[in-house]
């Protein structure tokens, strides 16, 4: 059974809505179009199986401690400068994955690199039920 991919509030929801809308209108430049395609492909893998080999998903302990729930990182791309990473969490409902941020890979050698990442808010289950109606 597949997962539902949701966007964190308000930043990721606004980001995704803007990107998807401009794509539908044919207003993305070449780099944005490439990024959109990578994102859709990664979301497909994430929905199918969050542990898909291509994503190299793993928990980020620093962020988990900071926010009080498990935060995972998956590859958007690899072997490129500042390769993109998707930060996400399970929830708010079963079979939901909420995307909390899309960022360049933090430099692991620098102390506190993950502490500088700003995450969107995980929607509540109540907000999820309201969306379905």
Q: How confident is the model at residue 133 (pLDDT cuts 50, 70, 90)?
A: very low
CATH code reported for the domain at 4-132: 3.30.2310.20
Bond before 66 cis per omega within 30 degrees: no
The pLDDT tens digits for 84-125 are 899 999 999 999 999 999 987 666 545 566 777 889 998 876
The pLDDT tens digits for 46-92 are 999 999 999 999 999 999 999 999 999 999 987 765 678 999 999 99
> What is the domain partition of the chain in residue ranges?
4-132
84-90 β-sheet, strand order: 4-7, 96-104, 84-90, 72-75, 58-59
Query: Residue 130's closest CA among 39, 9, 3, 20?
Result: 9
For the entire predicted model, the pTM comes to 0.86
């Amino acid at each position: 059974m597949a997962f539902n991919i949701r966007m964190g509030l308000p930043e990721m929801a606004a980001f995704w809505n803007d990107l998807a809308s401009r794509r539908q209108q044919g207003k993305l430049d070449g780099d944005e179009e490439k990024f959109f395609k990578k994102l859709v492909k990664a979301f497909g893998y994430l929905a199918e199986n969050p542990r898909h080999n291509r994503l190299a998903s793993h928990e980020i302990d620093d962020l988990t401690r900071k926010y009080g729930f498990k935060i995972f990182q998956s590859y958007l791309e690899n072997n490129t400068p500042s390769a993109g990473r998707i930060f996400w969490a399970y929830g708010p409902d079963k079979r939901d994955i909420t995307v909390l941020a899309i960022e360049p890979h933090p430099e692991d050698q620098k102390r506190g690199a993950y502490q500088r990442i700003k995450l969107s808010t995980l929607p509540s289950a109540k907000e999820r039920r309201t969306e379905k109606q």
